[in-house]
Amino acid sequence: MPQPADPPDAGPPEHSGPPDPAVPGLARPASAGLPGSGDRSGQDGADGGPSRTERPAGERRADRARRVADVLRQQILAGGYDGARLPDEAALARDFTASRNTVRDALALLAAEGLVQRRRGIGTVVVGHRHPHPLDRLTGLAETLGAAGEVRNEVRVAEVVTAPAAVAARLGRTVVHLERVRHLAGSPLSLDNSYLAVDVGRRLLGADLAGRDVFGLIEEATGQPLGAADVTVAPAVADANTAALLAVPTGAPLFAIERLSRLADGRPVDLEYLRVRGDRMTLSATLHR
């Protein structure tokens, strides 16, 4: 005849084998290692195997809130709620099968990122917008984001210089150096340092660097299109000087982008080091396997 389950505070059953799952009412041991099973760190389960480390209830809720925020963030960045009010907490809780406290924590994460605002009597409103920039197409800023507002370039440096070793290895010992703060719709978006092959760059020194993308100017100067580019993206934070130029706090998140662009014949002509505000742009690509 099957034995009744042990009470919650009792030790493991006296018999050596696992409980029979076919017997109704028989308790599953805490050592099963299920999420939220409540077993204590450092103890072995009833079967002698290691048990899962217990996490505080607040940490588990933080995990759930982070996952909700990840999904909502992507919906916002994709324009799903552009300029609109998010569903109320109860509706979001139903959608995500989560508690309202978890949803509230997720919205607080998004508010800290500047994507939403909580407004009394109104709800949660989307206020942050980031412009998408594809990484699988070689386009200039104005080509990509011109529809989002006027692109203006503040030219800080435009001169012929002796290249640092890393630049010289790609473009030659003498190059043209351009530094520009690029503005979109009246606000700083990126700080661009460009090194150009000297024979190409010299032709750009008298061009409209404040009003045009460098890519178009290169193609006009060389008489051939750009063909491809090698791109590396890494996270970075704004130092005090960069922060002042981009109108962000020191330590604000940035994209650090290195891009080496080549003409259609394969010749490298433009090596760029870009610092892009992380709160104003997203980078995307379509990948194939």
Q: What is the pLDDT at residue 128? A: 72
**Does 104 score more than 50 pLDDT?**
yes
The CA distance from 94 to 84, in Å, is 20
Residues 108 and 147 in one domain: no
Residues 151 and 268 in one domain: yes
Mean pLDDT of the residues in the chain: 81
The CA distance from 21 to 27, in Å, is 9
| Per-residue model confidence as pLDDT tens digits over 141-199 | 777 776 667 889 999 999 999 999 999 999 999 999 999 999 988 899 999 999 999 99
User: What's the rounded mean pLDDT across residues 80-103?
Assistant: 89
Q: What is the pLDDT at residue 282? A: 85
Residues 156 and 116 in one domain: no
Q: What is the pLDDT at residue 29? A: 36
Q: What is the pLDDT at residue 148? A: 66
CATH number at residue 79: 1.10.10.10
**Does 42 score more than 50 pLDDT?**
no
User: What's the rounded mean pLDDT across residues 96-102?
Assistant: 93
Q: Which amino acid is at 96?
A: F
Looking at 126, 158, 185, the residue that finishes a domain is 126
Does residue 14 or residue 173 have the better pLDDT? 173
Q: What is the pLDDT at residue 54? A: 56
pTM confidence score:
0.69
Q: What is the pLDDT at residue 131? A: 79
Residues 85 and 100 in one domain: yes
What is the bridge-based pairing of β-strands 226-237 and 253-263? antiparallel
Between the CA of residue 223 and those of 107, 196, 217, 226, 265, what are the distances in Å? 51, 16, 10, 10, 11
The tally of domains found in the chain comes to 2
CATH number at residue 266: 3.40.1410.10
Residues 121 and 185 in one domain: no
Q: Which amino acid is at 263?
A: L
User: What's the rounded mean pLDDT across residues 131-141?
Assistant: 83
Q: What is the pLDDT at residue 18? A: 44
Residue 39 is assigned to a structural domain of this protein: no
For 54, left (φ over 0), alpha (ψ -120 to 50), or beta?
Answer: beta
What is the bridge-based pairing of β-strands 281-284 and 116-119? unpaired
Residues 174 and 233 in one domain: yes
Q: What range does the domain containing 237 cover?
A: 131-284
* Phi (first) and psi of residue 214, to 5 degrees: -65, -35
Q: What is the pLDDT at residue 31? A: 34
Residues 179 and 137 in one domain: yes
User: What's the rounded mean pLDDT across residues 243-257?
Assistant: 95
Q: What is the pLDDT at residue 247? A: 95
**Does 105 score more than 70 pLDDT?**
yes
Residues 258 and 139 in one domain: yes
Residue 22 is assigned to a structural domain of this protein: no
Q: What is the pLDDT at residue 281? A: 85
| Per-residue model confidence as pLDDT tens digits over 192-221 | 999 999 999 999 999 999 999 999 999 999
**Does 228 score more than 90 pLDDT?**
yes
